[in-house]
A and B are shown apart, each in its own frame.
Chain A
Amino acid sequence: MSMRNALLLVCLGAIGTGAALADDSPGLGQELTATELAAVDFTIMPDGDGLPAGAGNAVTGRDIYNQNCLACHGENGTGGVNDVLSGGHGSLAGPKPLKTVGSYWPYATTIFDYLRRAMPFQMPGSLSNDDIYAVTAYLLFVNDIIAEDAEIDAESLPQVKMPNRDNFVWGYTPE
């Protein structure tokens, strides 16, 4: 065993936080500070865990949407060259199901999560959290789920029940 590896094992032993390392694991993971961790944690859960501070409503959301989203998704979330975001309510059991944010998505938190990760397509990461809450509110408004002046934030967003929430079943259930 090299000096370096010997040193490494001593260090790991000194940490001694409980989990036994498998014999074939070199144990090279580096511990992170809370700040380092927060920087890479984008996960938002359906109960709102992970939602940041900030707020917005559909009135401001419309302007932000029209500047950043309309070119691909059309006016009011309909008729663009890419995914249709509004309408389709009640169509899922019919001959031509139209899956939109309003007609299909089960959780409102997913809207914020996806916008923050991936949108606007050409410049993801360019919108502030307030902007993202506002666009989220706008998409909920154009789908007749919330009022135009309703404030959407970390408290209110997880409480929005999407119209199609109860029409999902799980194909996999953990033991």
Chain B
Amino acid sequence: MAELDQTPVAGNGLLDRRIFLKAGVAGGAALLTAQAGGVEREAWMKMPGAPMSDNGVPSAHESHVKRLAVSSQPGTTGTGVSRTPLEFLDGLITPSRLHFERHHSGIPDINPDDHRLVIHGMVERPLSFSLEALARYPIKSRIQFLECSGNSGGLIAPEPLQQSCGVLHGLVAASEWGGVPLSVLLDEAGVKPGAKWIIADGADAAMMSRSVPLAKVMDDAIVALYQNGERLRPGNGYPMRLFLPGWEGNACVKWLRTIKVMDQPAMTKDETSKYSDLNEEGIARLFTFPMGVKSIITNPSHGFTMGPAGPYQVSGIAWSGSGKIRRVEVSADGGSSWADAALDEHVLSRCLTRFRSAWRWDGGPAVIMSRATDDAGNVQPTRSAVLEGRANGAFYHYNGIQAWAVSAVGEVTNVYA
């Protein structure tokens, strides 16, 4: 490591990202204690281990890694959210058991033998598909993020909420979604001229309903049957859900039951009274589907305590509803100067992208932040730019730059910078 240049490339100790390409950031900290050869066995090495099992579970030592801030609206059980614990994760795929959930009337217990997807409306032939039938179609894989439009909404609070990264930003996850292109099913039904929208309904007790432009549906929508290789989890739409790459999660209707092809949107409760964006002049925008370019440092983040001064890896996730992440910059001096982060090998369109920076923390106060740019040239805005012109309380589609403060004793907190 001695030959690696550890001269800072940006303020307050940010190091060249090429360190990652060479040998990792540990540098001089890679101190492996020398052991005498072949005499020591830990307790678990002195007897055979646990037997085979038919279902995998995480290590008991990781039992604290669970969905966060699980809550439901008053008077309900199952109308609420649970969040992805981003601060405990690395890589780009979110384990299915930790994928955030947002339900509007609980998780239906659907018997797949009794469930059908019906396509009707402006089509030549209304059609019904069983799960067994859909599973016989060619399955397309999409390794992409899913983000609730309300993610990070707590960042509009006048004072920074002292909550963890996952509590603040955990309504996002990435999975391999496998499913049947909806265009194939619509072609089979025969879309009539003049059709411009679909209305998608779910089979939950609230019969969630959203209108989606036909152009998007024909471009890349799938009826997802698989999540990370297995059939969908009940909380994510078993046995089938709509998946719209890069678009707000609410429109990706779970427990998909009907698709009605129409020439206009239905103006459902969720696309008018809820997932619409009010500005300070009292004008609201409907149908703001794509999720903006965004990044968050997940490690270190709120609630972490730094060790001794020295080299650290700063790691996080970046994504954009418009395409691939082209660049992530990291600052350690509150945005005065920036250095490019290294992106992990897998940079996929509309997927979480893992970034890493090397930072030599000098043991003093610092403010760290990240800023993403996508391949369409969109740059992640500051918090104040996002809030400019918004109505008080308008929290959907928040993608502002997140700052974490590191104190002189190494405590990490949420700050506005």
Contacts and interface: CB of A to CB of B under 8 A. Distances in A.
B287 A170 contact: yes
Given A97-B391, A105-B272, A169-B283, A41 B258 contact: yes
Interface residues of B, number: 68
A25 B126 contact: no
Nearest to A166: B283
A99 B249 CA distance: 22
B225 to A, nearest CB: 14
A22 to B, nearest CB: 6
Contacts of A105: 269, 272-273
Interface string B280-292: 1111111111000
B201 interface: yes
Interface in B279-332: 280-289
Contact of B214 (A27, A32, A174): A174
B184 A168 contact: no
A93 B282 contact: yes
A18 B124 contact: yes
Nearest to B183: A22
B277 A110 contact: no
Interface stretch (A60-68, A112-120, A129-137, A140-148): A112-120
Contact of A124 (B207, B266, B284): B207
A22 B207 contact: no
A49 to B, nearest CB: 9
B393 A174 contact: no
Contact of B282 (A29, A40, A72, A167): A167
A107 B188 contact: no
Nearest to B126: A32
B190 interface: yes
A40 B257 CA distance: 8
Contact of B188 (A29, A44, A124, A170): A29
**Contact residues of A: prevailing secondary structure:** loop
A169 B282 contact: no
Contact of B201 (A43, A45, A81): A43
A45 B262 contact: yes
A93 B280 contact: yes
A124 B269 CA distance: 15
A19 interface: yes
B190 A44 contact: no
Interface in B168-206: 184-185, 187-190, 196-197, 199, 201, 205-206
B118 to A, nearest CB: 5
Contact of B258 (A22, A40, A118): A40
Contacts of A170: 285-287
Interface of B: 73-76, 79, 104-105, 116, 118-121, 124-130, 133-134, 136-138, 184-185, 187-190, 196-197, 199, 201, 205-207, 209, 213-215, 257-258, 260, 262, 264, 266-269, 272-273, 276-278, 280-289, 391-393
19 contacts: A18-B190, A19-B188, A19-B189, A29-B129, A29-B133, A31-B128, A37-B120, A40-B116, A41-B258, A46-B264, A46-B266, A72-B74, A72-B75, A82-B74, A92-B282, A101-B273, A106-B272, A171-B285, A171-B288
Given A25-B137, A93-B282, A97-B278, 15 more contacts: A18-B190, A28-B134, A29-B133, A30-B128, A31-B128, A32-B126, A41-B120, A43-B266, A44-B266, A82-B74, A92-B282, A96-B392, A97-B392, A113-B266, A113-B268
